[in-house]
Amino acid sequence: MNLPAFKESLVNNDCPLGISVYLQALWYDAKGNWNKAHQLIQDIPDKNASWIHAYFHRKEGDISNADYWYYKAGRKRPTVTLYEEWEELATKFFDSSSPST
């Protein structure tokens, strides 16, 4: 799977199989299921998960919580739109995954 196919999958009811938990969380977020997206990512103790976690809290408007998670991710809160940040996150996790078949 690649990023365009991932975006196209958003018309489906089920999350694509074989994608990372990071991409699963972004998929559920894009589908409007914040709770499922947050549940997938909240207990993963790495900087990638912290960045996604920060984005989720920024999106919900909880800026102080978002800033905490950006700090944990080693990042500053971005000035780009939420859509642009989602795109950056999705691109990052496709770029860091193995080539699609």
Q: Structure pTM? A: 0.90
Give me the pLDDT at residue 73, please.
Answer: 98
Per-residue confidence at 101, pLDDT binned at 50, 70, 90? Answer: very low
Among 88, 99, 100, which Cα is nearest to 22's? 88
Segments making up each domain of the chain, as ranges: 3-95
pLDDT of 37-71, one tens digit each? 999 999 999 999 999 999 999 999 999 999 999 99
Q: Is 92 exposed, middle or buried (0-12, 13-18, 19+ CB in 10 A)?
A: middle
Provide the 10 A C-beta neighbour count for residue 12: 10
Per-residue confidence at 87, pLDDT binned at 50, 70, 90? Answer: very high
Distance CA 59, CA 51 (A): 12
